Amino acid sequence: MFRPPRAVPAWLAHPFRWQRLPVPWAAVARGALCAGPLLGAGIATGRPAAGVLTGLGSMLAGVNDRPGTRRTGIVHIGLPALATTLGMLIGATLQAADAEWWIVPALFAVGFVSGAGSVAGPVRSNAGMQMLAATILGAGMPLPGAPWEKALYVLAGCLWLLLLRLVLRPPRPAGGALSGERAAVATVFDALADALGAAGGPGAEPARRRLTAALDRADEALRLRRLTSRLLHRPARTEELLLTERFAAATALCEASVALLWEARPLPSRVAESPRRFAEALRTGRSPGRLSAPETSTAARGAFDQALLDAVVAFARQEPLPVAQELPVPASSGRPAWLALPGSVVRGVLAALGGRTRRGRSLFGPAGRDYGLRVAVCIAASAAVALLLRPEHWYWLPATTTFLVKPDLGPLFSRTVNRFAGTVAGVLVFAGAGLLLTGSWWPALVAGAGGALLPFATRHFALQTVAITLMVLSFVHVSGDPGAAPERIVDTSIACGIVLVVGHLPRLADPRRRVGHRVTSALRSTEDFLRHVLEPEPGTDPTRRLTLRRAAYRALGEARAAAETAAAELLAARARNPDWLTVVTAAERIVDAATACAVRLDHGAHRPSVAEAERLCQALSAMADALEDPVRRPDAGLPGPDLLPVPDCATLTDVATELERIRGYAGAS
C-alpha cells in the first residue's frame, strides 16, 4: 500500500490511500454475470433499452454487494433497490412530462431528501444516493418506454443481482443453514483474540475498535435471522438458540476483555489463544479443546476467566436453555423489539419516510437539513449548468455530482480528485476497447468486465469510478450515443469544479455542523453507560449494561468515521474547530475505563459515592451540551465541575483524566 510522507497534509494524502481487503471472488463472479449478460440479452432480443435499464439496476445493486450473511445482503441490497426503482419512476415521469427547466427544482427536492438521509446510517444513505442517481438518469437518458416499465426493468436488474447473491455464495465448511451467522460469531472470537494479543501495545485501541465492529456485524446477522423467523411465524430452531447463547457468551467475554485491555499489560499468548479455539470450534463443529489455565491476579483477569468458563459451558451444551437469552437491543425505547433491529427493513423504510433515528437524530433536524442543503444545491447547480451547455445529454454532469457530494462518503477533495482520474482512465479504456473490438456485442463485454471489477474496486474510489464509467459508457453506447465518451471528461471536470466550490461554502463545509452532532450523540451515549455503571444500586436487568455499552461503542464508531473524514477535508477554518478525533478517542477510553470499573465493582470493589459519580456524569453532560451548539463562540470554553482524581479508584480517575482531555481539546480552540 502506498504510504505518503508524514509532511504531506491529510487532505492531500487521502486520495492515495488504498484499503487492504480480501478479494471477494463470489462477488466478482456475480458482477460478471450481471450488467454484461443483461445488456447482451437486450441486444440479442432486439430490445437494447431493456438491456440498458436492467444492466443499470444490476450495476447500482452491485455497489452494495458487500460481505455478510444472506439476510444482511437482502437488507443492504434490497432497500437501495427499492429506492432506485422509485428514483427511476420519478425521473422517467419527469422525462415523459417534458418538464424541461422544472427538472432543476425537482432534482433540488430529491437531492435534499437524499442528502438528509445521510444522517440515518450507511444503508439508508446509499439508498438515498442511488434514488437520486436513478432520478437523474431516468429524466435524462433518451430511452423508450413508459415510466412504470422503465422502473420495473431497473427493479428486475436489482433483483437479478440479489438472486445471484442468494445462489452464488462461498462454500462453508460447517453450519448448514446458519453458516453465515456462525461465521459472523466466529469472527467475533477471532477479533477478540487479536485484541488480547495486542494488549499493552500501540495496536490495542485499533484492535478493540475492530472487535466492536465484529460484534455489531454478528449482532445484526443474528437479529435479522430472528426477524425472519418471527415474520414466518416459525419457532426458533435448536441450532439458532445455541448460537444465540454462544454469542451471548462471546459478548460477556468481550466485556471482561475490555477491562484487560484497559489495564494495558501484555498478556500471555495462551490467553489470546483461547478465543481462537472457540472460533475454530464454531467453524468446524468440534470441541474447543484445552483452554488457558485460570488466574486471579486482578479483577479483570478473574472476570475474564469466569467468562471463559461460561463460554466453555455454552459450547459444551447440546441443548439450549429453557429460555434462551435475548440479544439486547441497541437502545431502550419501549418499542417492540422488531422496530429496534439495526438495519432492518421496517426500520429502514420508516427512516426513509422521515422517521427518527437513534438518539433523536431526525432526517430533517439541523444535521439532516445541512446535509440535504449541500446535496440539493450542488445537484441543482449542476443540472442548471448542464441544461445550458448540453441540453441533449445533460444528465452526466449532475449524475457525477451525485457520487461526489454526499458528506458521509469521504473527504470532498479526495473524492473529486479520484472521480476525475477514474473517469479519464475509464474513458481511455473504453475508447481503446472500441478500437480493438468490433460488432455490436463488444459493449456487453466491456460492461461485464466492469461488473466483475466493481466488487474488487471497493479498495479505492478511483478504481471504483473506472468500473462504473466502463459500464455506464457501455449503456450509453447501446442506447444510441456512441460518440459520447470524450464529452464525459468535460462534463466530469465541470461537475468536480461545481462540487469543490459549492461544497466548500462556509455553512456547508463547517465540520461542527457535520461532525458535531455525531460526537454529541456519542458523548450522550457514553454518559448513559457511565451513569448506569455508577448507579448506587445495580439494576436487576442483566442485559441493560451490555445494551448501553454496545450503544455507546456504536455511536463512537459513527463519530470516529465522521471525524476522520473531517480531518482529511480541505478546510480553511480547521483551526477554529475542536480536535474531533481526540475528543472521540478520549470518549472511547472513558467507555473502556467505565467497563473496567463495572468489572471491578462486580468483584467487590468499593462503589464510589453518589457525589463523585454525579460530578463525572455532569461534566460529561455539560461537554456534550457545549459541543451540541454549532454557534457557540470558540473562546467560550466548556462548562463543568472541577475534575479531580477519584480516591482509591484508578478506573474513575482515568475517566476524570479523559474528561479533562475532552475539555482541553474541545474548548481550547
Distance, in Å, from the CA atom of 165 to the CA atom of 180, rounded to the nearest integer, reads: 13
Query: What local confidence, expressed as pLDDT, does residue 336 receive?
Result: 39
Angle at 414 between CA 412 and CA 416, to 5 degrees: 70
Q: Which pLDDT value is given to residue 541?
A: 66
Q: Which residues of 582-611 are buried (b: 16+ CB within 10 A; e: fewer)?
A: ebbbbbbbbbbbbbbbbbbbbeeeebbeee
Phi, psi of 83 (to 5 degrees): -65, -40
Q: Tell me, what's the pLDDT at 65?
A: 87
pTM (two decimals): 0.81
**Contacts (Cβ under 8 Å, ≥6 apart) of 199:** 260, 261, 263, 264, 265, 266, 267
The per-residue pLDDT for 481 is 73
Per-10-residue mean pLDDT of the chain, 669 residues long, equals 59 78 85 93 92 94 84 88 95 87 92 84 86 93 91 95 81 57 90 90 88 89 80 74 88 88 84 88 82 73 86 79 47 38 40 40 67 87 89 86 78 88 92 85 92 89 92 88 77 87 70 77 91 78 82 90 82 64 90 88 80 86 77 48 65 83 65
Q: What angle do CA 108, 127, 148 make, to 5 degrees?
A: 75
Rounded CA separation 621/579 (Å): 18
Tell me the C-alpha to C-alpha distance, in Å, between residue 219 and each of 244, 255, 341: 10, 15, 9
On whether the CB atoms of residues 620 and 599 are closer than 8 A, the answer is: no
Furthest-apart CA pair in the chain: how many Å? 81
Strand, helix or coil at 362?
strand
pLDDT of residue 366: 67
- DSSP string over 114-163: HHHGGGG-HHHHHHHHHHHHHHHHHHHS---S-HHHHHHHHHHHHHHHHH
Query: With contact defined as beta carbons under 8 Å apart, do 496 and 414 qualify?
Result: no
Looking at residue 511, its pLDDT comes to: 65
Alpha-carbon separation of residue 507 from 67, 403, 496 (angstroms):
37, 21, 19
d(CA 51, CA 33): 13
The pLDDT, as a whole number, for residue 157 is 95
Give the per-residue pLDDT at 331. Answer: 40
pLDDT of the residue at 427: 92
